[in-house]
Amino acid sequence: MKFNRRLSAFAAVTLVASLGLTACGSDSDGGGSDAGGDTGGSGGGDISVTFLPKNLGNPYFDTSDAGGKKAVEEFGGTFEEVGPDTATPDAQVPFINTAAQQGVSALVVSANDPEAICDALDEARSAGTKIVTFDSDTNPECRDLYINQATADGIAKAQIDLIADQIGDAGEIAILSASANATNQNAWIDLMEKELSANHPDIQLVDTVYGDDDDQTSFDKTAALLQAHPNLKGIISPTTVGIAAAARYLSASKYKGKVALTGLGTPNQMREYVKDGTVTAFALWNPGDLGYLAAYAAKALADGDITGAEGDSFEAGDLGTFEVDADATVLLGDPFVFDKSNIDDFDF
Amino acid sequence: MSAPTVSRPDAGLARVYPAHARPLWRRVLLTREVAMIALLVVVYEYSMNNVGNFDGPLTLYYLFLDTAPILLIALPMTLVIITGEIDLSVASVVGLSSVLVGVLHQDAGLSIPVAGAIAILVGAVCGAFNGFLVAYVGLPSLAVTIGTLALYRGIAVGILGTTAKTDFPEKWTDLAKKRIWEDHPYPTILIPFLVLLVAFALLLHFSPFGRGVFEIGLNDEAAHFTGVNVELTKLWLFVLAGAVSAFAGIYYTLRFGSARGDNATGLELQVIAAVLLGGVSIFGGRGALHGVIAGVLLIGVLASAMRLENQTVNLINIVIGVLLVLSVISTSFLSWASGLATRGRGLGPLRRRSSAADHK
């Protein structure tokens, strides 16, 4: 009886082990039939574009993906939006793999890490998918084209100019950033520090804290920041989630109107705080335009109109003609400053 | 029949060994584990036929690459949960091990095998710390490992701070993604997994140690009085969980070519979900490895198929969550139903027979 029980347990374990092997047989069969090409998006002349933002449920990427969708609908392609629920590179990789399996024409990605998703992107490229990065770049050799929202210099300078203007070019300021690994934010913070030491000697950057692009964390970090630095005159938050959380904290606190807040935000999130006087002005590009441009760039690559070489140019619908710069980069334009006078002209 | 009848109202629940009153085929086939395997086969076949590109050459390859860390950690986790304990710190140990491999390789200049060996050692120490607090100090494992979940993750992020280590030798990053045979979807990580699977299967199902594990899950006091060293068994299981998690961390690092403090955040929930889905009782005392493997692969296949259908990650999480809740409910429901059935027929001699079998 004991023997039987062991035998049956052994049989069951063997059953599982053999499952993989049987799967192997059917897989190689399947591989053969797929080569015939039945469901693959790249089968026809139809262009399929998949947007992979850093994470889903982020209003910034909702807007950029909506812009991408608009563009894809204009040129009659197939649009998909996929993404992880947390903004980590390891969570992004399965979605890149899936795009490679589907054989989509182009994948438009905002990278959570410049290096970690590279191998997955390479595999997708060898499967014939064109890779366009937007918002956050990877290493240049891992993608075909990068759509840059604005130059890092321009963004850093715009924010420093705004805060200098609002605090009278002197006093303590702090930065509330996104995650500690965020490619963009770290580059901007570097440049902001340089800009401060070069042109604004009376402004001291006393602290940089990380809200992880999470509303509650950013809110709490703002509170902690104001407690730790009683002489703080201004906060720069170069991330849309951060600035909205910081504004929400300031608007209900005794610091409202006394501590200046600027950075990168979206009009819809900031409208209330601009109107109640918590925030005077903030900067951003139009993420909708960014996604729109990225989708047209993806199409141009997939059609073979451009290869990403310097000097290539392509049409991007309503936005006009764009040219590819060095390092296969396309620049959207200068950052835009939103304030009380113009914020109602925008809805994103 | 004169044996003292201990009152066991939940006899159906606590039953570990198959009731030998039933024929062999029923004992082997009518189990949670086989049901899970059947469900896996059904979902797999359905996806092959109905999900576009699922039958492509890359699906299984990516499936194994993605689920490898979960498969690995699920092995010791199964044993831990069968003893009625839980280890929530495994994903943090993965992150810590990832960071250690990166720092030891790039800053200290050690080779990958040496850095990996140190990382596994540290993982074992992390596990031993958990095990000591749970087994010898007697603290509840849920509280202890929630604490060390934060502690180990904190150390990992603290060591590397804001940066990621990405410069690993190609030889090793390629090995993590290499296929065992060209043109087959099996990555090399399956080799250490299969070795560990055999080891853990022997340990759990075919050794006195494994019987001790089940005994502890059913009643650790009784296990103690039958000569099982409860404390030492639990300590070893946590050490194993730590060491295997650290090994998974090395794989994670090399596969993504990136050592980061936040690697594998939230992985512990996927592991525990897969283990419970595979038929292991969260109350301890019940479970088998083949069901767990099927549970891990089922989650992997579901996620893969749903991604190919362009479903959002939220919907994938919802489906896995519902499946998990159903599987937990079904255990209680099935034992309730079989209890009803037994009671229904139990007025005649049958009842005496089955209860005699129960006490054998």
pLDDT tens figures, A274-285: 999 999 999 988
- Smallest Cβ distance to A97: which of B27, B57, B62? B62
Taking Cα atoms as reference points, which of A244, A276, A247 lies closest to residue A260?
A247
Two tokens, residue B63: 């499936």
User: What is the SS3 assignment for A254?
Assistant: coil
Average pLDDT over residues B347-360: 43
B10, part of any domain: no
Q: With an 8 Å Cβ cutoff, are B257 and A118 in contact?
A: yes
**The CATH number of the domain where B226 resides is what?**
1.10.3470
Distance of alpha carbon B272 from alpha carbon B174, whole angstroms: 29
Q: Which of A1-15, A110-124, B56-70 has the lowest mean pLDDT?
A: A1-15
Residue of chain A with shortest Cα separation from B50:
A39
Which whole number is the average pLDDT over B71-80? 96
Chain A nearest-CA distance from B129, in A, is: 28
Contacts of B56 in chain A (CB under 8 A): 30-31, 34, 101
Side-chain half-sphere CA neighbours of A15 within 13 A: 20
Nearest CA in chain B to A210: B162
ipTM above 0.90 for this complex: no
Residues 6+ apart with CB under 8 A from B92: B148, B149, B150, B151, B152, B153, B156, B268
Provide, as residue numbers in chain A, all residues whose Cβ is less than 8 Å from the Cβ of B106: none
What distance in Å separates the CA atoms of residue B309 and residue B301, rounded to the nearest whole number? 12
Q: What is the pTM of this model?
A: 0.74
Q: Do B313 and A33 touch (CB under 8 A)?
A: no
Q: B186 at the A interface (CB within 8 A)?
A: yes
Specify the pLDDT at position A19.
Answer: 43
- Note whether B342 contacts A: Cβ–Cβ < 8 A: no
Q: How far apart are CA A258 and CA B214, in angstroms?
A: 64
| pLDDT for the residue A6 | 53
In a domain, B204, yes or no: yes
Instruction: Answer yes or no: is pLDDT of A53 > 70.
Output: yes
Chain A / chain B CB contacts < 8 angstroms: 158
- Interface check B211 vs A, CB under 8 A: no
Q: Cβ contact (<8 Å) for A119 and B256?
A: yes
**Chain B (309-328) residues lying within 8 Å, Cβ to Cβ, of chain A:** 310, 312-314, 317
Burial of B5 (0-12, 13-18, 19+ CB in 10 A): exposed
Question: What letter would DSSP give residue B259?
Answer: B
The reported pLDDT for the residue numbered A2 is 45
Q: Is residue B58 part of a domain?
A: yes
Nearest to A322 by CA among A348, A286, A298, A287: A298
Supply the mean pLDDT for chain B. 86
| pLDDT tens column, A313-344 | 898 988 889 999 888 989 888 788 899 998 88
- pLDDT on residue B17: 56
User: How far apart, in Å, are the Cα atoms of B153 and each of A186, A216, B120, B156, B217?
Assistant: 22, 20, 16, 5, 29
Mean pLDDT score, B192-216: 95
CA distances to A197, A312, B257 from A309, rounded to whole Å, are 36, 6, 28
A128: left (phi over 0), alpha (psi -120 to 50) or beta: left
Place of tokens 């835009």: A336
pLDDT in tens, B264-312: 888 998 899 999 999 898 888 889 999 999 999 999 999 999 988 888 8
Tell me which chain A residues have a C-beta less than 8 angstroms from the C-beta of B184. Answer: 24, 28
**Cβ–Cβ under 8 Å, residues A331 and A153:** no
A45 pLDDT above the threshold of 70: no
Joined together, the tokens standing for residue B200 give: 């853990």
Across A53-57, A62-66, A131-135, B246-250, which has the greatest mean pLDDT?
Answer: B246-250
Tell me the residue range of the domain where B59 lies.
Answer: 15-340+353-358
The pLDDT tens digits for B23-72 are 777 766 777 888 889 999 999 999 999 888 888 888 899 999 999 999 99
**Termini Cα distance of chain B:** 10
Q: What is the pLDDT of residue A249?
A: 94
Nearest residue on chain A to B163, alpha-carbon basis: A181
pLDDT confidence of residue A282? 93
In a domain, B3, yes or no: no
Kindly list the structural domains of chain A, giving each domain's residue range(s) and its CATH number in brackets, ordered by start: 48-149+287-333 (3.40.50.2300), 152-284 (3.40.50.2300)
- Pick among B17, B42, B60 to test the A interface (most A CBs inside 10 A): B60
Q: How far is B164 from A108, CA to CA, in rounded Å?
A: 23
How high does pLDDT run on average in chain A? 84
Res. A20: pLDDT tops 80: no
- Residue A209: closest CA among A170, A134, A288, A263: A263
pLDDT at A236: 95
Highest mean pLDDT among A77-81, A178-182, B25-29: A77-81
Instruction: Determine, yes or no, domain membership for B8.
Output: no
Residue A216 to residue A200: CA distance in whole angstroms: 32
CA torsion A31-A33-A38-A41 (nearest 10°) is 10
> Would residue B73 count as lying in a domain?
yes
B252 CB neighbours in chain A (<8 A) are 90
Decide if pLDDT at A28 tops 80.
Answer: no
Which member of B31, B48, B164 has the closest CB to residue A115?
A: B164
Name the β-bridge partners of A49: A79, A106
CA distance A250 to A282: 15
Q: Which residue of B has its CA nearest to A84?
A: B313
Output the pLDDT for position B188.
92
Number of domains comprising chain B: 1
Does residue B31 form part of some domain? yes
Residue B94 clears pLDDT 90, i.e. is over it: yes
Reported as a pLDDT band with limits 50, 70 and 90, residue A22 is very low
> Which chain B residue's Cα is nearest to A8?
B28
The answer to the question of residue B317 being in a domain is yes
Angle, alpha carbons B154-B157-B159 (nearest 5°) = 105
Q: pLDDT, tens digit, for every residue of A225-277?
A: 999 999 999 999 999 899 999 999 999 999 988 999 999 998 888 999 999 99
Question: Looking at the predicted structure, is the pLDDT value of residue A13 above 60?
Answer: no
Residues present in chain A in total? 348
pLDDT at residue A30 in the model: 35
Cα atoms found within 13 Å of the Cα of residue B34, Cβ hemisphere only: 14
Rg over alpha carbons for chain A, rounded to the nearest Å, is: 24
Please classify residue B139 by burial: count the beta carbons closer than 10 Å to its beta carbon, then call 0-12 exposed, 13-18 middle and 19+ buried: middle
DSSP secondary structure letter of residue A128:
T
Task: List A24's β-bridge partners, or say none.
Answer: none
Judged by CB atoms closer than 8 Å, whether chains meet at A26 and B184 is answered as no
pLDDT at residue B274, rounded to an integer: 92
Q: Which residue of B has its CA nearest to A16?
A: B290
Question: What pLDDT, on a 0 to 100 scale, did the predictor assign at position A32?
Answer: 35
Task: Report CB contact under 8 Å: A23, B60.
Answer: yes
Kindly tell me if the per-residue pLDDT of A115 is higher than 90.
no
Chain B nearest-CA distance from A52, in A, is: 11
The pLDDT assigned to B18 comes to 56
The residue in chain B having the minimum alpha-carbon distance to the alpha carbon of residue A39 is B52
Distance CA B247, CA B127 (A): 13
